[in-house]
A and B are shown apart, each in its own frame.
Chain A
């Protein structure tokens, strides 16, 4: 079915290290991308977004990079903390004319103390 894929299903990092979570998206015409964080038993929580006319966007401790040439997104988390432990999803919005968002399978981030 339609999907946005992720390369690494589980990522373990030491507390204080930087984390990089990757995502391959499917539709070259997608114009908007979002990273979500989901903790157990909760709905996805917005982290950061980026439009297709940008290749980098920074937030607080997070950076999203977009490479349209290879249809690749990454989420970088600086100084990873125990509270960052969760499943992370990328989502793409297909091109204008629809507001349908397609999510990937997810990457579980485990922060080791």
Chain B
């Protein structure tokens, strides 16, 4: 499967715990995105990377959230001291660089439940 891969698919945690999600983009895709989606809403932009550089972060991304893409391939999203309001689907997407093909390819997401 050469699509965007996210792990885990589901995560249940207790409030106050730290969680980390992983995203493996489509090979050779330079841009990688993280979005958050709650029930009945569209995906909300969190951050994106061009190779290993984090180019933009949403103000939704509080200091408890951190994303990395150290080698310009896979990325991790960590949430520290989770809160119940963090419960959501966390979606990763990738796209190739260049202006002729900009569409985002999404993974299946990680569903986080904070108890």
A41 → chain B, closest Cβ, in Å? Answer: 8
Check B103 against A43 for contact (C-beta < 8 Å). Answer: no
Which of A46, A98, A100, A106 lies in contact with B103, CB distance below 8 A?
Answer: A46
Residues of B within 8 Å of A42, CB to CB, are 108-109
B75 at the interface (CB under 8 A from A): no
| Total CB contacts across the A-B interface at under 8 A | 61
B28 at the interface (CB under 8 A from A): no
Which has the most chain B C-beta neighbours within 10 Å: A3, A4, A36, A99?
Answer: A99
Check B42 against A43 for contact (C-beta < 8 Å). Answer: no
Check B48 against A100 for contact (C-beta < 8 Å). Answer: yes
Which of A43, A45, A105 lies in contact with B41, CB distance below 8 A?
Answer: A105
Residues of A within 8 Å of B69, CB to CB, are none
Check A98 against B106 for contact (C-beta < 8 Å). Answer: no
Can you list 17 A-B pairs with a CB-CB distance of less than 8 A?
A1-B60, A4-B42, A42-B108, A43-B93, A43-B109, A44-B91, A44-B104, A46-B103, A93-B102, A98-B56, A99-B31, A99-B50, A100-B48, A102-B45, A103-B44, A104-B42, A105-B42
